[in-house]
């Protein structure tokens, strides 16, 4: 068997999420169906992260095993042909060693969350951002976010259906920037860690938005973290603004 790493971009709206589910449309299922057109058999690919329904991919990474030795460019082109018209694209493909694993070899996952601030309804950005009708205080949100960086028990920001063995994780980076675009003011949340709990990023952003409006103070975020109680979390924000943006490996397979 020959192993290949795939860099994948997708629009999450039509899918129940990354993970294959019987009778439902998933990103994993779409790619495995395309692989079966090239080598007719059951395929089971593994990904760096299992994104939820409505969450998008900019730099998702998965690996597949093929019986035939494919030229990576031709494999990506063939997969993209069979993925049409689904909003999924293979943006890079590389031959990798047999011990490469898209999930277990990853050293860092980077997520981007986008909030669009404007009163008029979003048109071009609909389904790609969380839209609010008010400005947010970036400095206050950043001060609150700084309390989250480091190794903590993140029970407050963990979904009740999370299957992780422990709520203790290390958050390496959380920065917030304000960006002026043609469509309006956007707030970008750059979140990085080796791994995340279920709904952790959306829980962070939902609580930080409360700080940005003035409903919470930065100290309220610290109190919520220290409570280690899901009830202390702010509203969980919608999935539309969340992107799995980049995955870091010891050696970049696509370099």
Active-site residue list: 52
Phi, psi for residue 32 in degrees, rounded to 5 = -65, -35
Do 249 and 174 contact (CB within 8 A), yes or no? no
**Residue for token pair 């169906």:** 33
Strands (E), the chain: 2-10, 46-47, 56-66, 88-96, 108-117, 130-132, 150-153, 168-181, 184-193, 242-248
Strands (E), 33-133: 46-47, 56-66, 88-96, 108-117, 130-132
Rounded Cα–Cα distance for residues 198 and 232 (Å): 16
Tokens representing 96 are: 């990798």
Alpha helices by DSSP H, listed for 65-176, are 72-83, 138-146
Tokens representing 183 are: 């469509």
Q: For residue 73, how far is the Cα from the chain centroid? A: 25
């Amino acid at each position: 068997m020959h192993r290949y790493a795939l860099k994948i971009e997708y629009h999450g709206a039509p899918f129940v999420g990354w993970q294959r589910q019987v009778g439902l449309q998933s990103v994993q299922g779409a790619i495995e169906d395309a692989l079966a057109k090239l080598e007719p058999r059951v395929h089971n690919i593994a990904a760096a992260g299992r994104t939820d329904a409505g969450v998008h991919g900019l730099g998702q990474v998965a690996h597949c095993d093929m019986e035939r030795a494919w030229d990576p460019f031709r494999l990506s082109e063939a997969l993209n042909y069979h993925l049409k018209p689904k909003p999924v694209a293979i943006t890079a493909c590389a031959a990798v060693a047999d011990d490469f694993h898209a999930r277990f070899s990853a050293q860092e996952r980077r997520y981007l969350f986008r909030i669009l601030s404007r009163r008029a309804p979003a048109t071009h950005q609909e389904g790609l951002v969380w839209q609010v009708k008010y400005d947010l205080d970036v400095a206050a949100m950043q001060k609150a976010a700084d309390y989250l960086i480091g190794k903590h028990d993140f029970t407050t920001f963990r979904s009740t259906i999370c299957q992780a063995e422990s709520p203790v994780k290390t958050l390496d980076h959380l920065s917030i920037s304000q960006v002026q675009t043609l469509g309006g003011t956007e707030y970008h949340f750059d979140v990085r860690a080796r791994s995340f709990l279920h709904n952790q990023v959306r829980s962070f952003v939902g609580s930080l938005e409360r700080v940005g409006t003035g409903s919470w103070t930065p100290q309220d975020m610290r109190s919520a973290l220290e409570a280690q109680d899901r009830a202390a979390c702010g509203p969980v924000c919608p999935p539309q603004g969340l992107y799995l943006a980049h995955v870091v490996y010891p050696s970049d397979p696509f370099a």
